[in-house]
Amino acid sequence: MLHPLPERLGAEVDRLGAAVLRIVLAGQVADRLRSGMQMFRSAHGAPSALVAAGGVAANQAIRDVMARVAFEVDTTLVVPPAELCTDNGAMIAWAGAERLALGLTDGLDSPPHARWPLSEVTAVSGPSPVRSAGPVHQDTGT
């Protein structure tokens, strides 16, 4: 028969368990991201950037992992400010601001895209024109 832990010890076990889980998950994210970056490099050459948005980009621990992997593969991590990453409306507006700053517009007859394949997205090179608002974080390894 298992006996319950004293309350103080139980809370400490919970805290340590959560810390271990965060470390394991960060390692998994890093491994998957490295694999994905290698697959991209094999198929398309060196990536010009690693881009993240939404809830994933709102998580600071995941941002740190993405920054480390971006640094390892010698590319830039591009993410909107964290406070915009949890609101889909803000993310859509940010994407629109990026497109508009690049001179990319669509007419009112443009069809909606629930999923927009990357092969159909207009390729643009160079830095983000909305950089002054702070969407780019490049880990310098320090």
Q: Give 74-132 pLDDT, tens digit per residue.
A: 999 998 888 878 777 777 788 888 888 988 888 888 877 777 776 776 655 555 544 43
Identify whether 75 is part of a domain.
yes
Q: How many domains does the chain have?
A: 1
Q: What is the per-residue pLDDT across 44-56, written as a single tens digit (0 to 9) for each?
A: 999 999 988 778 8
Classify residue 90: in a domain, yes or no.
Answer: yes
Pairing of strands 49-51, 76-78: parallel
User: Quick one: how far is CA 131 from the chain centroid?
Assistant: 16
Note whether residue 89 is domain-resident.
yes
Q: Is residue 60 in some structural domain?
A: yes
Domain that holds residue 45: 13-103
Q: Comparing C-alpha atoms, which of 67, 124, 75, 118 is closest to residue 99?
A: 124
pTM over 0.85: no
Taking the C-alpha atoms of residue 102 and residue 80, their distance in angstroms, rounded to an integer, is: 16
